[in-house]
């Protein structure tokens, strides 16, 4: 089969112009331009991010992860022998891996909490220093 250029002509595309520092109109970096009334305030974005929207998205993602976790545990029902500090027992493979992942998450959370406490302490000490003389 040969293609007839008259049946399906390829559209000519205009080259894209580079974005310059001119902020006279349109949007700059995805933000709406200033109000046309001359107030200088940007127009309110109707699709702004809210805390409830973020919470809803996080809840949906958490539910999807939980469903995937349930499937993982249900498919890995083989029992394995475990030994931990002299304790011996058998447990399902999926459950053992889940407990190990939660244990790792707890260790990371403890390390992160310790760092946050350290940084807050440093910030408090920096703010608590009194100024010796006021400028007039």
Domain ranges of the chain: 51-127
For the chain, state the CA radius of gyration.
Answer: 30
pLDDT of 126: 82
Query: Taking CA 96 as the corner, what is the angle to CA 95 and CA 99, rounded to the nearest 5 degrees?
Result: 85
pLDDT of 73: 87
pLDDT of 49: 83
Nearest to 93 by CA among 78, 82, 72: 78
34 by Cβ neighbours in 10 Å (0-12 / 13-18 / 19+) ranks as middle
pLDDT of 40: 58
**DSSP type of residue 10:** P
**DSSP type of residue 28:** B
pLDDT of 46: 72
Mean pLDDT by 10 residues, the chain (136 residues): 56 57 51 53 72 90 91 88 90 88 93 94 76 53
pLDDT of 59: 93
């Amino acid at each position: 089969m040969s293609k007839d250029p008259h049946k399906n002509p390829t559209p000519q595309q205009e080259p894209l112009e580079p974005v310059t520092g001119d902020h006279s109109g349109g949007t700059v970096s995805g933000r709406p331009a200033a109000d046309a009334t001359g107030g200088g305030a940007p127009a309110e974005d109707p699709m702004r991010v809210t805390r409830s929207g973020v919470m809803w998205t996080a809840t949906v993602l958490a539910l999807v992860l939980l469903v995937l976790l349930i499937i993982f545990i249900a498919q890995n029902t083989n029992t394995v022998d475990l030994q931990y500090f002299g304790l011996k027992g058998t447990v399902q493979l999926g459950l053992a891996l889940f407990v190990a992942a939660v244990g790792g998450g707890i260790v990371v959370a403890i390390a992160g909490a310790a760092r946050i406490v350290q940084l807050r302490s440093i910030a408090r000490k920096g703010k608590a220093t009194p100024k010796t003389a006021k400028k007039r």
